[in-house]
Amino acid sequence: MKRTVFLGLFLLLLNALQAEDGYRLWLRYDLIDNKALLQQYRSALSAMSFPANSPMLAAARNELLLGLQGLLGQTPRSSGPGNTFIVRLENQKDLSPEGFTLRTVQKNIVLTAPTEKGILYGVFHFLRLLQTQQPIDHLDIASSPALPYRILDHWDNLNRRVERGYAGLSLWDWFTLPTYKDQRYTDYARANASIGINGTVLNNVNASPYILTPDWLEKAASLADVFRPYGIRVYLSVRFSSPMDIGGLHTADPLDPAVREWWRKKADEIYRYIPDFGGFLVKANSEGQPGPQNYGRTHADGANMLAEALEPHQGIIIWRAFVYSNETPEDRARQAYTEFKPLDGQFHKNVLVQVKNGPIDFQPREPFHPLFGAMPNTPLLLEVQLTQEYLGFSSHLVYLAPLFEECLNADTHINGTVSKTIKGMAGVANIGNDRNWCGHIFAQANWYAFGRLAWETGGKAAPYSAAIATEWIRQTFTNDPKVVDSIKEMMMASREIAVNYMTPLGLHHIMAYEHHYGPGPWLANAKRADWNPVYYHKADTAGVGFDRTPTGSNALEQYAPGARTQWADSNACPDQWLLWWHHVSWNHRMHTGRTLWAELCRKYYAGVDSVRWMQRRWNALRPAIDPERWQQVDMRLAIQEKNAVEWRNACLLYFQTFSRQPLPETAERPDHTLEYYQQHKIDYAPGTNQ
Ligand code: GCV
């Protein structure tokens, strides 16, 4: 009996130890499976000299020990002979305050940095070298972040629902805060620090005013305490009408002295709770949110009032440029530029304007936003969306780094590439309380890539997406080169695959209403014109596409002449942008020699075929991946395949009513009618009920 119980317990323990449920993200510190390398690493790290007399240095040191214990099965002695890992705070020429160097000096490895944060980042970098099984015998690394602001934006509501969140509830268990500090908060901070993220906006940009009341500030302060040793500053989204909502004032006019005084006092109060508070993120006069325009004032008036309140505390204001107005008949793609360009140079120095990567809204493909390069006197942040609102939620495998990089590397023809015109990146988080954090194991790669890109990019021409994917796969799954290459190919192809089965050739915003999951190109009765897919594709019997040239909305004029020329002529415009810029006939000759209709069919069919290719590939990888994560991904790929078929069939059947041309002879026939797809409703899709 005793023996059975013991065996049972043993098996349970074994199972628990082996379970790979995705919780550890890329911070998996398992014993290195290459014996020769393991020996080398062990002898290179016999001793350690790591004075840690502050919470941040202690966090860095603990991480190093945790990592080495797992990866090497031993930790270095804290002193004595042998090869030593030496950590030193030291000023270095050409290093930014967050940078570090890792060098081999007489058989020792020396990590130096001008600040504690640099040491922390250097430790994570070093652990990554071991995890990805890199040589460490001749290290000569100097690394500084390309961009100073690397921030996650959580669209988490105070009731724990996450707007556009597909990985469960908010990670912040507001109800038990400030007292209960879940271990997940620390693990979240570790994961962020490991990829250089240095800020987090805790709450939704559609902000509740309550976040600024004492109870909630205390909760935010408690999170800030957990994040501080990991170099992460807390920011809050604020509602512009807060002085009225919770302050008892009759106005929120930014030029009203009482309003200004209210914000000043509020700022002082916040800094008593969170001495290193980062600042405010503001969505104003956008999608129904209040803002300075309610009082006839400009975005600059609103931002500057808040900037003055935070300035004595060195806080910043991040003011979003995601604005469009229902009353304005102007093409939505033009509106942010129209409102913000004239304000260039009018913002206080502690204001940054946050601009989405494209002028509409996180579509599978958009041209870069025309404000990049157009506001030389205003620091800009690039906002990208990690959560896949328009890219199949957490059900579809879509590696987003190539999308982000397409924008970062786009030439503004004013000040170089987009990456050269920005001071930082903000990523709308895809994190929730799901055990694996992001819903899809591969969605973790988008969180990872966001941090790594924000650290690495900055005008350097090299493409990073593939290198970052390699790093992530090696840390997340395996160092087996064949497996790494096979997964990498899948990841690198996945964004284009999604574009093909959703919105090929420059189509955009033809998703189902409100939840944005699945196709809805026929939708025409949303309460705002520009919430309707028909507004964006403008299909008729003559053709399809949005004319944004001088014969149409002329959104093209908002770009520099050099940028314009690539898109201006419908015959020269690259196929991938065609229907974004032009309304062309169904028989328009594409660069491939096919007609537009034939090309559209080809893309939609290729999209579905490629999802099936991903499924086959994943199937072949089964022996190389642990069963739990393999199966999770396999099941999600099955959802993706089903959805891709629906996208293809629904869109082609719908556009066929205008093109009046047949589907390709040999192709798989749609299994349902257009009416069937039009009636397909999804109740309670995640991410919408706020
Ligand atoms: C937070 C899109 C999303 C909204 C989001 C908005 C924004 O419109 O659908 O859910 O609101 O962008 O970025 O403010």
Model confidence at 328, pLDDT cuts 50, 70, 90, reads confident
Task: Kindly give the number of the ligand 1 atom that is closest to the alpha carbon of 383.
Answer: 13
Distance 517 CA to ligand 1 centre (A): 14
Q: What is the mean pLDDT of residues 429-436?
A: 98
Distance 314 CA to ligand 1 centre (A): 28
Distance 209 CA to ligand 1 centre (A): 18
Query: Judging by DSSP bridges, how do beta strands 543-544 and 424-428 pair with one another?
Result: unpaired
State residue 7's pLDDT score. 45
Q: Which of 116, 163, 253, 361 is catalytic?
A: 361
Q: Which of helix, strand or coil describes residue 85? A: strand
Atom 13 of ligand 1, nearest CA residue: 322
| Residue from 181, 176, 92 nearest 142 by CA | 92
State residue 329's pLDDT score. 82
389 labelled catalytic: yes
Angstrom CA distances, 386 to 121, 394, 402, 454, 677, stand at 22, 10, 12, 13, 28
Pocket test for ligand 1, best of 361, 509, 690 (most atoms within 8 A of CB): 361
Cβ-based neighbour number of residue 49 at 10 Å: 15
Indicate if the pLDDT at residue 568 is higher than 60. yes
Structure token pair of residue 687: 């991410």
Please check whether residue 544 is in contact with residue 538, taking contact to mean a CB–CB distance below 8 angstroms: yes
- Specify the higher pLDDT residue, 668 or 5: 668
State residue 172's pLDDT score. 98
Please check whether residue 279 is in contact with residue 310, taking contact to mean a CB–CB distance below 8 angstroms: yes
| Helical axes 596-620 vs 481-502, angle rounded to 10° | 150
Indicate if the pLDDT at residue 268 is higher than 70. yes
Please check whether residue 83 is in contact with residue 45, taking contact to mean a CB–CB distance below 8 angstroms: yes
Distance 75 CA to ligand 1 centre (A): 47
User: Residue 609 and residue 282: Cα distance in Å, rounded?
Assistant: 42
Answer yes or no: is the C-beta of 164 below 6 A from any ligand 1 atom: yes
User: 593-620, pLDDT tens digit by residue?
Assistant: 999 999 999 999 999 999 999 999 999 9
Answer yes or no: is the C-beta of 283 below 6 A from any ligand 1 atom: yes
User: 287-307, pLDDT tens digit by residue?
Assistant: 999 999 999 999 999 999 999
Residue with tokens 């009996």: 1
| Helical axes 596-620 vs 627-659, angle rounded to 10° | 170
Q: Which residues of 387-421 are buried (b: 16+ CB within 10 A; e: fewer)?
A: bbbbbbbbbbbbbbbbbbbbbbbbbbbbeebbbbb
User: Residue 29 and residue 119: Cα distance in Å, rounded?
Assistant: 19
In angstroms and rounded to an integer, the radius of gyration of the C-alpha atoms of the chain is: 26
Q: What percentage of residues in the chain have a pLDDT greater than 90?
A: 92
Task: Kindly give the number of the ligand 1 atom that is closest to the alpha carbon of 204.
Answer: 1
Query: Using CA of residue 107, residue 113, residue 114, residue 117, what is the dihedral sign?
Result: negative
User: 235-247, pLDDT tens digit by residue?
Assistant: 999 999 999 999 9
Atom 8 of ligand 1, nearest CA residue: 361
| Residue from 268, 149, 171 nearest 226 by CA | 171
Distance 204 CA to ligand 1 centre (A): 10
Q: Tell me which of 6-10, 178-182, 226-230, 445-449 is least confident.
A: 6-10
Residue with tokens 């309460």: 527
CA angle 579, 581, 586 (to 5 degrees): 35
Answer yes or no: is the C-beta of 205 below 6 A from any ligand 1 atom: yes
State residue 53's pLDDT score. 95
State residue 537's pLDDT score. 98
Distance 206 CA to ligand 1 centre (A): 8
Task: Kindly give the number of the ligand 1 atom that is closest to the alpha carbon of 286.
Answer: 14
Q: What's the gap between Cα 464 and its chain centre? A: 15
Distance 688 CA to ligand 1 centre (A): 10
State residue 462's pLDDT score. 58
Query: Using CA of residue 392, residue 395, residue 396, residue 402, what is the dihedral sign?
Result: positive
State residue 194's pLDDT score. 98
Atom 11 of ligand 1, nearest CA residue: 206
Residue with tokens 């006839």: 296
Task: Kindly give the number of the ligand 1 atom that is closest to the alpha carbon of 687.
Answer: 10
Atom 2 of ligand 1, nearest CA residue: 361
Please check whether residue 211 is in contact with residue 237, taking contact to mean a CB–CB distance below 8 angstroms: yes
Indicate if the pLDDT at residue 222 is higher than 60. yes
Q: Which of 287, 308, 330, 344 is catalytic?
A: 287
AA letter at 664: P
This prediction has a pTM of 0.96
Task: Kindly give the number of the ligand 1 atom that is closest to the alpha carbon of 206.
Answer: 1
User: 462-519, pLDDT tens digit by residue?
Assistant: 579 999 999 999 999 999 999 999 999 999 999 999 999 999 999 999 999 999 999 9
AA letter at 492: M
Please check whether residue 283 is in contact with residue 206, taking contact to mean a CB–CB distance below 8 angstroms: yes
- Specify the higher pLDDT residue, 167 or 457: 167
Number of H helices, E strands in the chain: 20, 15
Q: How many CA atoms lie within 13 A of 49 on its CB side?
A: 15
Answer yes or no: is the C-beta of 322 below 6 A from any ligand 1 atom: yes
- The DSSP letter of residue 334 is H
Indicate if the pLDDT at residue 4 is higher than 80. no
Angstrom CA distances, 299 to 186, 255, 319, 484, stand at 36, 12, 8, 47
Structure token pair of residue 257: 């002295």
Structure token pair of residue 172: 């912040």
Distance 220 CA to ligand 1 centre (A): 23
Indicate if the pLDDT at residue 160 is higher than 70. yes
Indicate if the pLDDT at residue 3 is higher than 80. no
Answer yes or no: is the C-beta of 361 below 6 A from any ligand 1 atom: yes
User: 28-51, pLDDT tens digit by residue?
Assistant: 999 999 999 999 999 999 999 999
Q: Which of 339, 389, 456, 530 is catalytic?
A: 389
State residue 181's pLDDT score. 98
Residues 6+ apart with CB under 8 A from 671: 645, 649
State residue 676's pLDDT score. 98
Cβ-based neighbour number of residue 666 at 10 Å: 6
Distance 164 CA to ligand 1 centre (A): 8
Model confidence at 198, pLDDT cuts 50, 70, 90, reads very high
Residue with tokens 């055990």: 435
287 labelled catalytic: yes
Model confidence at 2, pLDDT cuts 50, 70, 90, reads low
Indicate if the pLDDT at residue 632 is higher than 80. yes
State residue 528's pLDDT score. 85
Query: Using CA of residue 58, residue 63, residue 66, residue 67, what is the dihedral sign?
Result: negative
Answer yes or no: is the C-beta of 155 below 6 A from any ligand 1 atom: yes
Q: Which of helix, strand or coil describes residue 170? A: coil
Indicate if the pLDDT at residue 689 is higher than 70. no
State residue 16's pLDDT score. 47
Indicate if the pLDDT at residue 386 is higher than 60. yes
Torsion angle, CA of 573/370/361/603, rounded to 10 degrees?
A: 10
DSSP of 269-302, one letter per residue? HHHHH-TT--EEEE--SSTT---GGGGT--HHHH
State residue 458's pLDDT score. 60
Query: Using CA of residue 620, residue 622, residue 625, residue 630, what is the dihedral sign?
Result: positive
Pocket test for ligand 1, best of 153, 157, 161, 164 (most atoms within 8 A of CB): 164
Task: Kindly give the number of the ligand 1 atom that is closest to the alpha carbon of 155.
Answer: 1
Answer yes or no: is the C-beta of 362 below 6 A from any ligand 1 atom: no
User: Residue 41 and residue 83: Cα distance in Å, rounded?
Assistant: 10
Model confidence at 690, pLDDT cuts 50, 70, 90, reads very low
344 labelled catalytic: no
The maximal CA–CA distance of the chain, rounded, in angstroms, is 85
Task: Kindly give the number of the ligand 1 atom that is closest to the alpha carbon of 385.
Answer: 13
Answer yes or no: is the C-beta of 517 below 6 A from any ligand 1 atom: no
Indicate if the pLDDT at residue 446 is higher than 70. yes
DSSP of 583-603, one letter per residue? -EETTPBPTTSSBHHHHHHHH
Please check whether residue 638 is in contact with residue 632, taking contact to mean a CB–CB distance below 8 angstroms: no
Atom 12 of ligand 1, nearest CA residue: 361
Atom 7 of ligand 1, nearest CA residue: 322
Q: Which of helix, strand or coil describes residue 234? A: strand
Model confidence at 19, pLDDT cuts 50, 70, 90, reads confident
Pocket test for ligand 1, best of 287, 366, 382 (most atoms within 8 A of CB): 287
Indicate if the pLDDT at residue 12 is higher than 60. no
* Alpha-helix residue ranges (DSSP H) falling in 279-414: 299-310, 332-340, 401-408
Q: What's the gap between Cα 163 and its chain centre? A: 14
Q: What's the gap between Cα 318 and its chain centre? A: 17
Average pLDDT value over all residues in the chain:
95
Phi (first) and psi of residue 354, to 5 degrees: -100, 120
State residue 527's pLDDT score. 84
Phi (first) and psi of residue 104, to 5 degrees: -90, 125
User: Residue 369 and residue 367: Cα distance in Å, rounded?
Assistant: 6
Distance 555 CA to ligand 1 centre (A): 22
Distance 406 CA to ligand 1 centre (A): 22
User: Residue 428 and residue 322: Cα distance in Å, rounded?
Assistant: 13
Please check whether residue 579 is in contact with residue 600, taking contact to mean a CB–CB distance below 8 angstroms: no
Q: What is the mean pLDDT of residues 543-572?
A: 98
User: Residue 69 and residue 461: Cα distance in Å, rounded?
Assistant: 38
Answer yes or no: is the C-beta of 163 below 6 A from any ligand 1 atom: yes
Q: Which of helix, strand or coil describes residue 171? A: coil
